[in-house]
Chains A and B, each alone.
Chain A
Amino acid sequence: MKPVETVSRPYARAFVEWARDREEVLCLSADLTGSCEVDDFRDAYPDRFISCGMAEQNMMAVAGGFARQGFVPFVHTFSVFVTRRPYDQVGMSIAYPNLRVRLMAFLPGLTTPGGVTHQAIDDVGLMRLLPNMTVLDCGDATEVETVLDVTEQVDGPVFVRVLRGVVPRLFEEPMQLGRVRVLLHGGDVCLLTSGICTGEALPAVEALADAGVSMTHLHVSTLKPFHDPTVLDAVASARTGVITMENHLVTGGLGSVVAELIADHGLGQRLVRMGLRDTYAHGGSLPYLLDYYGLSARHLVAEVERLVGEPLGVELEHPAEHEPVPPAAKAEAL
């Protein structure tokens, strides 16, 4: 595999640039301004930066109030604090009135050094349950940069899983609302990945292709609505089955979306859902956690082998078998 280009703080720069001439765009923050990469926005447009304190329930309903008066508030905090603590406020003061509030949710799934309290393993499910809510999951730096344009197309609330820090750039084309990316087209297995799992899956998919497995690989960035006909065709035509891989519980997110699609259309496909299986996680580095919870490239290879019914002898370039991550390499700042 060729080395992957990375981008540092793509959201920080993109949001400042994008908001420059959009006077209606406000930035709300709940004491995680640097952690959500909106410190640059605060410094560039102090008048449009609104500090809400560590009080997310109030922040959500305040955002609803701003939106009722024609502003477009972008609410920034960790995904757990968007989805769990203020769920009633998001539902009643933002989603029910169908207001143009953008919920910019950082540290999705296991992408946090913060442990169980900071791991948003249920956020997609919780937000997908809310009527009127659009649910987006960024998979690379390009999507983090271009999701801002996507939100503008939605006349209602939008929940976005945002990646921060050093983020790989996997795609050249901007994110499109309601459209998957077709990364590979083949007939044996249909693989759907979202968020950081797309980057995790790529080496495995490449190795599997080298081993002669014919795969379709779709990257999903819009979890709701989920009506792209490309998905239906790919899922229906997979010869051995379908695999979903997500940085989330297997319930409520991508795995559930695809299961519902299969059931709704009577496709009768075998579905393997990779993700957290009815469990909370614990604190650790991302590579460790992905491996521990069965979300590494090697786990994907094993699932494909099971589906096609034979060992493929695939060698991964960097097998991540319980390699301890040295403490110095771990992200410690929240």
Chain B
Amino acid sequence: MTTLVPNAEIERVADAVRRRVLVHTIRNNGGYLCQACSSAEMLATLYLRAMRLGPSHGPPVPVEFRGVPGKSPAVSGAAYNGGPGPDNDRFILSAAHYALVLYATLIEVGRLAPEALEHFNRDGSTVEMIGAEHSPGMEATTGSLGQGLSVALGMAMARRRRGGSGRVWVFMSDGELQSGEIWEAIGMAAHHGVDNLGVYLDANGNQVDGPIVDVQRIEPAAERVRTLGWRVHEVDGHDPDALAEPALEPPDGRSLMVIARTCPWQGIPSLAQRAPKLHFLRFRPGEAELALADCGLTMEEVPA
């Protein structure tokens, strides 16, 4: 049995992800900051405890854009998640607007250089705002939300045919449960008993237009998915032990969904005043200082 990464390390990475995304959001006059707040422990736990990944073989500073698939030699962001061996896990970021949070996570776990974020959203860069499969850590192009689970399902069924213990993990946002294709995929995974497929769902309760309860309810999410034949766990999305535990249980013939109940201003409580519009944050005068203070930082620690 391999030694588990201690909670303190997961918490250190999660805090560092929040701080890095916060500083980035201030310097770039906007960003997907609440997604970092809600998912920092989820991504840290996935990378440090839940997923079995080989070492990164992506360049620490990502390559520039060289052309799209089919028109140029392939560049895959999957390289940052390690080799594709049959016993290695794969990771699909379905909620592609979390790309910045993923990049920050890759940096904090040592799979990407901090300088990579200097290329974020710059023309000619692969470190895109809504990433594509050439972006670090991304293996599929999922910016059209609701498709990532289906892609992962196909990959999981393919890998199961070939044998090996590797699993396919999907990071999803709760708003995606409104998409019909997600339920098609849930049904198909259940029907075929695809138990090498696992979903971590960031249930932060918010989407572009505002709170999910106002836009279109998705609850009772756990009951709905469980009824269709999945193994569903609802956990505190900021608790590393609770997050990791379902992934450490052996597969049992069912696909796994971990619904992580999270807070969109976790770690930066001053963001709560921006509710209910939390999807993309651009600070108004004075707010950046408050957010930095929440993290024990000052404007002097924000590079020009």
A: residues with CB less than 8 A from B are: 50-53, 55, 57-71, 73, 88-89, 92-93, 96-98, 131-132, 156
Contacts A52-B188, A58-B184, A89-B181; is A65 near B69 (CB within 8 Å)?
A: no
A62, A70, A92, A98 pick with most chain B CB within 10 angstroms: A62
A93-B150, A98-B69 are contacts. A69–B141 as well, Cβ < 8 Å?
Answer: no
- 4 extra A-B contacts, CB within 8 A, seeds A62-B150, A96-B141: A61-B147, A65-B156, A68-B151, A93-B151
Q: Cβ of B220 < 8 Å from any Cβ of A?
A: no
CA distance A266 to B19 in the complex (A): 60
What residue of chain A has the Cβ atom nearest to residue B159's Cβ?
A69
Residues in B neighbouring A96, C-beta threshold 8 A: 68-69, 132, 141
Nearest neighbor of A54 in chain B, beta-carbon distance: B184
Q: How many residues on chain B are close to A (CB under 8 Å)?
A: 32
In the bound assembly, the distance between CA atoms of A50 and B185 in angstroms comes to 13
A97-B187 in contact (CB<8A): no
Which A residues lie within 8 Å of B155 (CB)? 65-66, 68-69
A24 to chain B, nearest CB (A): 10
CB distance from B212 to the nearest CB of A (A): 22
A260 to chain B, nearest CB (A): 20
Closest B-chain residue to A57, C-beta based? B181
Taking the closest CB of chain A, its distance from the CB of B149, in whole angstroms, is 8
- CB neighbours (8 Å) of B184 from chain A are 53, 55, 57-59
Set A61, A67, A71: member contacting B150, Cβ < 8 A:
A61
Taking the nearest CB of chain A, how far is it from the CB of B92, in angstroms? 9
Cβ of B140 under 8 Å from chain A: yes
The answer to the question of B162 belonging to the interface, with a C-beta cut-off of 8 Å to chain A, is yes
B144, A65: Cβ atoms closer than 8 Å: no
Contacts of A88 in B (CB 8 A): 144, 147
CA distance A61 to B151 in the complex (A): 5
Contact B70 A131, beta carbon cutoff 8 Å? yes
* B152 beta carbon closer than 8 Å to chain A: yes
| Residues in chain B near residue A131, CB distance under 8 A | 68, 70-71
Closest to B70 in A: A98
Q: Does A92 contact B144, Cβ atoms closer than 8 Å?
A: yes
B150/A57 in contact, CB under 8 A: yes
A-B contacts, 29 of them at CB < 8 A, read: A51-B191, A55-B181, A55-B184, A57-B150, A57-B180, A57-B184, A58-B153, A58-B181, A58-B185, A58-B188, A59-B184, A60-B150, A62-B150, A62-B151, A62-B188, A65-B155, A65-B157, A67-B154, A68-B151, A68-B154, A69-B155, A69-B158, A89-B181, A92-B147, A93-B140, A93-B141, A97-B140, A98-B70, A132-B71
A194 to chain B, nearest CB (A): 24
Q: Which residues on A sit within 8 Å (CB–CB) of B162? A: 69
Q: Closest residue to B74 on the A side, CB-wise?
A: A98
Tell me the nearest residue of chain B to A47, going by C-beta. B161
Closest Cβ–Cβ distance, residue A239 to chain B (whole Å) = 40
Contact residues in A for B159 (Cβ distance below 8 Å): 69
Residue of A nearest to B153 (CB): A62
Q: Which residues of A contact B140 (CB under 8 A)?
A: 64-65, 68, 93, 97
B179 to chain A, nearest CB (A): 9
Name which residue of chain A comes closest to B160, CB basis: A69
Judge whether B176 is part of the interface by a CB distance below 8 angstroms: no
Interface residues in B107-155 (C-beta closer than 8 Å to A): 132-133, 139-141, 143-144, 147, 150-155
Residues in B neighbouring A68, C-beta threshold 8 A: 139-140, 151, 154-155, 158
Which residue, of B68, B140, B147, B187, has the highest number of chain A Cβ atoms within 10 A? B147
B69 contacts A58, C-beta separation under 8 Å = no
Which residues of the other chain, A, contact B191 by a CB distance below 8 angstroms?
51, 53
A-chain residues with CB within 8 Å of residue B71 when the two chains form the complex? 131-132
Chain A residues with CB under 8 A of B187: 53, 55
Assuming the contacts A58-B153, A58-B181, asked whether A97 and B158 have C-beta atoms less than 8 A apart, the reply is: no
Within the complex, what minimum Cβ distance (angstroms) separates A247 from chain B?
A: 28
Residues of A within 8 A of B152 (CB): 65
Across-interface contacts of B133 in A (CB, < 8 A): 97
Contacts of B132 in A (CB 8 A): 96
Establish whether residues B150 and A97, one from each chain, have CB atoms under 8 Å apart when the complex forms.
Answer: no
**Cβ-closest chain B residue relative to A155:** B70
> Of all chain B residues, which has the CB nearest A55?
B184
B164 to chain A, nearest CB (A): 11
- The listed residue with most B CB atoms (<10 A of its CB), out of A69, A70, A71, is A69
The answer to whether B181 touches A132 (Cβ under 8 A) is no
> Among B143, B150, B181, B188, which residue has its beta carbon within 8 angstroms of that of A53?
B188
